Amino acid sequence: MNEIGVLGAGSFGTAIAQHAAAAGHPTRLWARRADQAHEMTAHRENRLYLPGVAFSELLEVTTDLDQLLDADPLVVAVPSHGFRAVLGELLARRKSRAPLTVVSATKGIEIESLARMSRVTQEEGERAATPVRFAVLSGPTFAAELARGMPSAAVVASTDEEVAAGLRHALATRTLRLYSSGDVVGVELAGTAKNVIAIAAGVLAGLGLGHNTMAALITRGLHEMTRLAVASGGDPETLRGLAGLGDLVLTCTGGLSRNRRVGLDLARGRTLAEIQGGTSEVAEGVRSSLALRRLAEERGVEMPIVEQMTAVMYEGKSPESALEYLMTRELKDEARL
């Protein structure tokens, strides 16, 4: 494998870069802010987003996109609202028009166009006259645990079977087991929707509700995710795997989940503006809820949990009222999609 490039020095981008470097791959990690890159270089760790994880000697940090022009594969781990701009700029700078493998580690949908990152990548590749081989990496992987070498498993999906298999073998280690998939649609939508369900899980926990309630939320949340994926051309089996159920359970129950923390704060009465103003981290579910609601409407899919979380965050609805609505909806057959 050539040198690996990672765009985005947040917690997960840093974790992926450290994992790849520790596995023996020369890796360059791009940080948007010069002060952050300087500090990471000086201390050989990301004290802001991933403190306590020492960098491998094979990991180099830079703010210069030109330093990643020869990297292949290129992992993009920036928030969904910045994905197009960052990837587009790198592709525009690239002198070579040779095919490039782009791996999305972003769990979100572009809110303006409702495009998944696979479509954004295709459009930017066409704009730069660069053939792009796309893959998406997703699954139940908290950055802090992945970077510290705790056993984890994830899925790498691509419509090109050789690309998925190649990345699976190249990036898998004794501490990260990778499975390949051809269902890009299912993996991308699962990774996006589970974040909104995790906000709801945080709300339930913040309201002091019990295991019965949480189990019901996770199960019905998975049903919503599956409905949307199937209506968009995804495979329901994907939603029962690591990228679906696995990631959903982790994000809904794990204390490291940023989206769950948003829900906890909402239950305590904090506004969305207050929550977002107090952190430098991005909880993708906050923006994704708006995109998912619109996408569900276009697909004719019911997603009541997503609808209620959007109402709580953006329309001033109380968490208690949202819960009451969900509990008093029309009774239906459980298996109906």
The pLDDT tens digits for 7-53 are 999 999 999 999 999 999 999 999 999 999 999 999 999 999 999 99
The residue annotated as part of the active site, out of 107, 194, 317, 332, is 194
pLDDT digits (tens, 9 = 90+) for 169-195: 999 999 999 999 999 999 999 999 999
107 as an active site residue: the answer is: no
pLDDT at residue 277 in the model = 83
Q: Which residue type sits at 163?
A: V
Q: How confident is the model at residue 1 (pLDDT cuts 50, 70, 90)?
A: low
Architecture in CATH for domain 4-182:
3-Layer(aba) Sandwich (3.40)
pLDDT at residue 281 in the model = 74
Please, which residues bridge with residue 244 across strands?
Answer: none
- DSSP letter assigned to residue 10: S
Residue 295 vs residues 80, 206, 316, 337: alpha-carbon distances, Å: 16, 28, 22, 16
pLDDT at residue 213 in the model = 97
Residue 14 vs residues 9, 22, 29, 276, 319: alpha-carbon distances, Å: 5, 12, 7, 22, 34
pLDDT at residue 283 in the model = 86
Mean pLDDT of 307-315: 97
What is the reported pTM?
Answer: 0.95
Residue at token pair 């890159």: 37
pLDDT at residue 279 in the model = 73
Quote the mean pLDDT of the chain: 96
> Where does the chain hold its CATH 1.10.1040.10 domain(s)?
185-327
- Residue 224 predicted with pLDDT over 90: yes
Mean pLDDT of 327-335: 91
- Residue 217 predicted with pLDDT over 70: yes
- Residue 134 predicted with pLDDT over 70: yes
> Where does the chain hold its CATH 3.40.50.720 domain(s)?
4-182
pLDDT digits (tens, 9 = 90+) for 226-282: 999 999 999 999 999 999 999 999 999 999 999 999 999 999 999 998 998 877 777
pLDDT at residue 276 in the model = 87
Is residue 52 within 8 A of residue 42, CB to CB? The reply is no
Q: How confident is the model at residue 337 (pLDDT cuts 50, 70, 90)?
A: low
Q: What percent of the chain has pLDDT over 70?
A: 99
pLDDT digits (tens, 9 = 90+) for 80-110: 999 999 999 999 999 888 999 999 999 999 9
Options 1.10.1040.10, 3.90.1150.10, 3.30.365.10, 3.40.50.1220; CATH for 185-327 is 1.10.1040.10
CA distance 303 to 105: 24
pLDDT at residue 278 in the model = 75
What lies within 8 Å, CB to CB, of 35 at 6+ separation is none
